[in-house]
Amino acid sequence: MKDQKITIQERAAVIFLSFFGSGFFPKAPGTAGSVATIPLMYLIFLAEISLLNFILATTALTIISCFIAEYIQQKRQLHDPQWIVMDEVLGMLVTWAFIYPRFDFISCFVLFILFRFFDIVKFWPASYFDKKVTHGSGTILDDIISGIFAGLSILLLQKFQILL
């Protein structure tokens, strides 16, 4: 790839998928991407977006991310590189959707810990998408599933009045 000219579209895709460069953090880029999501969540919280619009926007962003991940992975002949952290961003947003619009330190901390746990462990079917789906959607959807698991865990914590 040394001799290839990098296009504006490719640069934009890298900026987007790395969530403005947070995916290039030298240690634990997935964790860095998850942490970088918290200011975005705060901005969404301040904007008082309805739950329906939040879910619609997150869904649209997920679909777009799948296609952009496929584009860049094909272009650079990669599969799920660590610097792609848009999946962590989306996973955090999906987890947050379960308690949306709640935004406080304890909620964010628990959300972050649970999401990172499920993202690292990758219980089935997240593991299936992570290992078996080679399209860009596999790169993104394993974290969406991890976000669902984390969100359901938060609901359980709330139901039994543990931490939240």
pLDDT digits (tens, 9 = 90+) for 45-73: 999 999 999 999 999 999 999 999 999 99
**pLDDT interval class at 92 (50, 70, 90):** very high
The answer to the question of residue 3 being in a domain is: no
Contact indicator for 79, 134 with CB cutoff of 8 Å:
yes
**pLDDT interval class at 163 (50, 70, 90):** low
The answer to the question of residue 142 being in a domain is: yes
The answer to the question of residue 17 being in a domain is: yes
Domain extent for 76: 8-158
The answer to the question of residue 1 being in a domain is: no
